[in-house]
A = this chain, B = another copy of it.
């Protein structure tokens, strides 16, 4: 059945049912909810001193193609991108609103799958979808707003918290998402395990929610999530903190499957690919040591913050000579 046959209000009813049946009803966010889907606005009881909010959007033929993505993957990724922003400031996510645009000839079953993908990821972090908006549109867009909380102003990770002398570190491995995208665009065939790993790296990233909170607990002050690409996002952080940075490209942890499949090219993917949704953070050596001591996830120091902001981000090869990337990272419109 097409969305145009069901109509806006029929679709709202169906999605409400899917959310009600599949979303974790026992989570704290659900228990505190006063008004959810079906009223003019959502309302919940909140006792945290600090509120957080962010929005991200996946747009057809810019962020994804319906030729390669499943609808469930799109739902997961749309939710992941916004949750990652909450992770990057060390917050606790709670609620999501979904503003969805789609053509009337979209299959209802596809939209149901989109929401199942969002719910699957949301359930892992106690995030409840509590409302949204549906609009007919010539293209599909999925704009996901996420609200969260923090218990302490002093424990927010910000882009402006980096200081000269800090080490620069990243969680996990980089370049997997870019490798997945390249594999899909070029219809490459590789072994099934690698194919699945790279596809998941691109479509099913895991937002580093618990990791962001752990960093904040251990005294980290500066972080950003890697959505545009390592170099590009580090530039944003440096600019906000009025500092520069030096990165040893051999120190950057490249996604092992990306390295296997793409060899030397995987380094560029790790430097400028984006959409890995790992966290980049800076802190003094003793704080980094504390983080490493308690972390159950990979933490790799890749460089250091320098006071000279005019140089921006400098990449150095293994001989300590400057290295130039082919592309700094993703930027819309250009």
Contact = CB atoms under 8 A, between A and B. Distances in A.
Nearest to A223: B40
Interface residues on A, range: 35 or more
Interface string A28-50: 00000011001111111111111
Given A7-B334, A54-B97, A139-B139, A46 B45 contact: no
A97 B46 contact: no
Given A99-B99, A156-B34, A89 B43 contact: yes
Interface string A151-187: 0010010111000000000000000000000000000
Contact of A55 (B8, B54, B133): B133
Given A50-B44, A135-B59, A89 B35 contact: yes
Given A8-B333, A141-B137, A334-B7, A225 B56 contact: no
A224 B126 CA distance: 29
Given A55-B97, A59-B101, A45 B40 contact: no
A29 B188 CA distance: 51
A45 B135 contact: no
A3 B35 CA distance: 39
B224 A95 contact: no
Given A7-B333, A137-B141, A333-B4, A41 B53 contact: yes
A131 interface: yes
A145 B143 CA distance: 10
Nearest to A161: B39
Interface in A39-78: 39-57, 59-63
A4 to B, nearest CB: 5
A85 interface: yes
Count of chain copies: 2
Interface in A320-334: 331-334
A257 interface: no
A104 interface: yes
A273 interface: no
B331 A156 contact: no
| Listed residue (A6, A98, A132) with the most chain B CB atoms within 10 angstroms of its CB | A132
Given A41-B88, A44-B51, A57-B143, A62 B136 contact: yes
Contacts of A53: 41-42, 53, 95, 97, 130-131, 145, 147
A138 interface: yes
| Listed residue (A38, A53, A61, A131) with the most chain B CB atoms within 10 angstroms of its CB | A53
Given A8-B331, A135-B63, A333-B8, A52 B43 contact: yes
7 contacts: A8-B333, A40-B86, A43-B89, A44-B51, A59-B101, A134-B332, A141-B143
